[in-house]
Amino acid sequence: MALRRPMVAGNWKMNGSAQLALELFNKFATKLQDDSAEVVLCPPSIYLESVRQQLDANKDALNGCLVRMGAQNLSQHDFGAYTGEVSGQMLKDSGCRYVIIGHSERRRMYGETSDIVAEKFAAAQKHGLTPILCVGESGPAREARRTFEVIAEELDVVIEKNGTMAFDNAIIAYEPLWAVGTGKSATPEQAQEVHAFIRKRLSEVSPYIGENIRILYGGSVTPSNAADLFAQPDVDGGLIGGVSLNSTEFLSLCSIAMSA
């Protein structure tokens, strides 16, 4: 077993159905072998209950495998007049262990600033959820050689508000915006370079956190490029969008992570 257990997290985004949950668990129940990787499903909130039902129904078949549930977003507030929002406590009550924070689609389309992301990170931990914090640079930022600067800024705001030790209970996902949903993944070398940068930055404050935190890569991961990406020393699995909607391909990513 690697020092850090690989993780494959499926972010369904605004896709999927109760039927997809059923299909995935039918495959997990027969094909997942052991706990050498952790599998996380992040459906839209409305389908959390469907996934939870499948988790319960397949408990015996999944014995020894780690399949867990996450949400795609949460409110930074605990409760109140915030129409359409879902709180950390509600996600915890629904059976979530993880929550994706600061996905580029939320930063870009819903005006989530790094300060809001830092507040959501705190809210997740307050309610016993593990944040999966997304960071990543745009195409123009990469072309302008600002990748490390952007990643450092996104990380530092969360560190300033929450402290480095908060990363003892967190996952980071490096998702370059130019690779999300484009079919153009980062190369293994590009991913490794940024993952090593993130790990080093955290290690400077806490070598323990740096060594133990899991850093996932996200952006056009498929069964054909996953083995090379997951084999990089600082890549601990993937945050998967499109392919998480295809039960056969998603399972194949899980198997690749299990043997990484």
Ligand X SMILES: O=C[C@H](O)COP(=O)(O)O
Catalytic residues: 103, 175
219 lies in the binding site for ligand X (CB under 6 A): yes
Q: 55, 241, 250, 256: which one contacts ligand X (CB under 6 A)?
A: 241
* Piece of the chain touching ligand X by CB under 6 A; list 25-33, 73-81, 218-226, 248-256: 218-226
Q: Enumerate residues 73-112 that contact ligand X by CB under 6 A.
A: 103
128 lies in the binding site for ligand X (CB under 6 A): no
Q: Which residues have a Cβ under 8 Å from the Cβ of 166 and sit 6 or more positions away?
A: 121, 122, 125, 158, 159
Q: 240, 251, 256, 258: which one contacts ligand X (CB under 6 A)?
A: 240
- 253 - beta bridge partners? none
Q: 101, 171, 216, 239: which one contacts ligand X (CB under 6 A)?
A: 239
Is 45 marked within a binding site?
Answer: no
User: Among residues 131 and 219, whose Cβ is nearest to ligand X?
Assistant: 219
One-letter amino acid identity for 205?
A: V
At 212, list the tokens: 């133990």
**Min dist. Cβ of residue 108 to ligand X (A):** 11
**Min dist. Cβ of residue 136 to ligand X (A):** 9
Instruction: Please state, in angstroms and rounded to a whole number, the distance separating the CA atoms of residues 136 and 234.
Output: 16
User: For the chain, how long is the longest CA-to-CA vector?
Assistant: 52
Q: Exposed, middle or buried: residue 250 (CB in 10 Å: 0-12, 13-18, 19+)?
A: buried
Is 128 marked within a binding site?
Answer: no
Instruction: Please state, in angstroms and rounded to a whole number, the distance separating the CA atoms of residues 218 and 234.
Output: 13
Is 181 marked within a binding site?
Answer: yes
70 lies in the binding site for ligand X (CB under 6 A): no
Distances in Å between the Cα of 117 and the Cα atoms of 19, 122, 131, 157, 244 are 32, 9, 10, 9, 24
Residue numbers at the binding site for ligand X (CB under 6 A): 11, 103, 175, 180-181, 218-221, 239-243
